[in-house]
Amino acid sequence: MKRMAVLKGAVKATLPFQPQLRSIKRRLRPYQDNPANSRYALQQGLEQIQLLRQAGVALDGDVLEYGSGWLPIIPLLFQLAGARRLILTDVERLMDEHTIARAKQVVSDNLAAVAAALGQSEAALAERLTKPCNFDYFVPWDSRAHPSASADIVISRAVLEHVPPAAIRHAVGEFGRILRPGGAMCHVIDNSDHWEHKDKTLSRVNFLRYEDGFYWKLACFNVQSFQNRLRHSDYIQLFADYGWTVVLATGTPDEACLRDLETLPLATSFRVRDHADLAILTSGFVLRRTGELAEGADPGPFQT
C-alpha cells in the first residue's frame, strides 16, 4: 500500500458533488470495464448458480442482488437460469444502458460456457439475450422499506468485503425478513488485499500487517477503498450469530499466501489467527435461515 495512493484516495473522498461529477464524466466517456474482471465475474456467477443447485435451491423465484455494481452480468445469468424476477440494489446508480449492453456482450462472448453450465442450448440463450433485461433497480436501496417475504434468493459477489461489520450484521438480519420461508442466500467474498490488485509486488494478504490505527483508517477513508479484512471463519461466525446455517461453504487456503504469512509482520489482531484461515482468498457460502439471533447479538446500525 503506497502512501501516495492512500493520500490520493483520501483527498478524492473529500471532493464535493462526486455523483454529479461522475455523471458528467460518464456522459463524456462511457464506463469501460476490465475484460478479464468481467470474465471472472461471469465465472463466479456460474459458480454461484452451481452452488445453489448443489444446495437444492430452486432458481425460478425472485432474486435480490445486494450491491449490483456496474455490469449486471450475474443477474443476467440468473435470468437465463430461470429467475422469475430480478431485484438489483446499490448505494448509488452505476448501471446504465451502456453497461447493461456490455454485460450482455460478455455473456454472448462466453455463450458456450454459459450454455454448458446452465444445461441449455446456445441458440436458445442467444435468442433470449436479444430481449430486454427485465429487472427492478433500487438506488439508493433502503432495506427497511423493502417488503417482507418478497424474495426467494439473496446473492452478492465481491461486495461484503467492502461493508463494515456492523452494516453486514444489519444486512443479514434484514435478509432474513426479506426472504420468503425456505429462502436462501449465496455470497461470494473476495478476502484478498485489494491494493494488491493494482500493485503486484504486494502479497495478497499484505493488508493484514496494518494495525487498526490512523494509517489504516486513512487508507479506508474513501468508501471505494474500504476493506473490512474479515476472514472466512469470521463470516461463518457472523452468519451463525444471526440465525443462518451454512449449507455449503467453499474456501481453500492459498499456498503462496501461506508462505507469505510465515514472514509477514502481522498486526496484533491477526498474529494469533490460524494461517490457514487468513490465507483463504475467496469464500463462497450458501445459507438458510434456521434460527434466531444469538443471545446478545447486536443487529447493527442501519446502513445502505
pLDDT tens readout for residues 43-61: 999 999 999 999 999 999 9
State residue 25's pLDDT score. Answer: 66
Question: Which residues lie across from 157 on neighbouring strands?
Answer: 188
For residue 146, with 0-12 CB atoms within 10 Å meaning exposed, 13-18 middle and 19 or more buried, which class applies?
middle
Please check whether residue 233 is in contact with residue 289, taking contact to mean a CB–CB distance below 8 angstroms.
Answer: no
Question: Which residues lie across from 246 on neighbouring strands?
Answer: 287
Pairing of strands 282-289, 244-250: antiparallel
Q: Return the ∠ at Cα 65 (arms to 73 and 220), rounded to 5°.
A: 95
State residue 116's pLDDT score. Answer: 98
Question: Measured between alpha carbons, how far is residue 127 from residues 64, 81, 108, 134 in Å?
Answer: 24, 14, 10, 15
DSSP letter for 253, please: B
**Grid cell for residue 167:** 452494516
Domains and CATH numbers, the chain: 36-214+223-289 (3.40.50.150)
State residue 23's pLDDT score. Answer: 65
pLDDT per residue, tens digit, the chain (304 aa), is 566 565 555 445 555 656 666 666 677 778 899 999 999 999 999 999 999 999 999 999 999 999 999 999 999 999 999 999 999 999 999 999 999 999 999 999 999 999 999 999 999 999 999 998 889 999 999 999 999 999 999 999 999 999 999 999 999 999 999 999 999 999 999 999 999 998 999 999 999 999 999 888 888 877 778 999 999 999 999 999 999 999 999 999 999 999 999 999 999 999 999 999 999 999 999 999 876 555 555 555 444 3
Burial pattern 210-244, b for ≥16 Cβ within 10 A else e, equals beeeeebebbbbbeebbbbbbbbbbbbebbebbbb
State residue 19's pLDDT score. Answer: 64
For residue 87, with 0-12 CB atoms within 10 Å meaning exposed, 13-18 middle and 19 or more buried, which class applies?
buried
Pairing of strands 85-89, 179-190: unpaired
State residue 214's pLDDT score. Answer: 86
